[in-house]
Structure 1
Amino acid sequence: MNEGAHHAPDAPHGSLREYLIGFFLSVVLTAIPFWLVMARPLAPGPTAVLIVAFAVVQIIVHMVYFLHMNARSEGGWTMIALIFTLIVVAIALAGSMWVMHHLDTNMMPMPHEVSRQP
């Protein structure tokens, strides 16, 4: 079977070195949050923030080392699609949080109203 039949000639191909770097980074970026949860060296708030930060970095590592996403791949269209997706997700998350906040603020009884009820 022809090698060119599976991939476009200008498609990025990862080398073994790149895959090993990506794998090593993925393992480290998984092991550190695991240790943070198991050893509990920090309070829950900072631990949660660090876990989210490590998750974001791991997403970037996977996109770069395993999906080979960069500004040059496919004429930049994959990066444009990624940016559009991130914007849509951010709008959906922000809107959901806004709606939930306003539901909580406007629909839950106030503490002094609860104590007056028989």
Structure 2
Amino acid sequence: MAHTSSHGSAASILWGFLLSLVLTALAFGAVMAGAVPRGAVLPAITLLAVAQLIVQLVFFLHLGLGQGRRGNTAIFLLTAMLIGIVVSGSLWVMHNANHNMSPTQMTIAAARNRD
């Protein structure tokens, strides 16, 4: 059985590399040159980081909806979902443990009277 999925041509890898460099330079310029207003720096950096993530996923990890790429994309999405479940579940457990084990403002005498 022949493997038909492409791992990218030299041109597509070069395009991905150039786009990554441009996005990195834009993020660097947003902070160092003050090209973005102070209140918009964090949203601008976040937007550029998401764009960088998409470029890296498409050009270097070969994720997409084309033939031969669907398997990679499905595995990536399921892995991201699993990581999300583990992280959110851990945060939920830690929050509840912190809330339920925190000391209360009740005195010992008031606790005895409740029993």
TM-score range normalised by the length of the shorter chain:
0.5 to 0.7
Identity of aligned residues (%): 36
Q: Does 1:86 align with 2:84?
A: no
Q: Which runs of 5+ in 2 are unaligned?
A: 103-115
Per the TM alignment, residue 9 of structure 1 is displaced from its structure 2 partner at its CA by 3.1
1:24-35 alignment, distance < 5 Å = 24-35=18-29
Aligned length: 100
Instruction: State the partner residue of 1:48.
Output: 42
Structure 1 stretches of 4+ with a deviation exceeding 4 A read 92-104
SS at match of 1:22: helix
> TM-score if structure 2 supplies the norm length?
0.64
Corresponding position of 2:17:
23
Q: Deviation per CA, 1:74-100: give whole Å up to 9, x if none.
A: 6x2211111112223333454566677
In our comparison, the structure showing a higher alpha carbon Rg is 2
Normalized against structure 1, the TM-score is what?
Answer: 0.63
Letter in 2 for 1:73: G
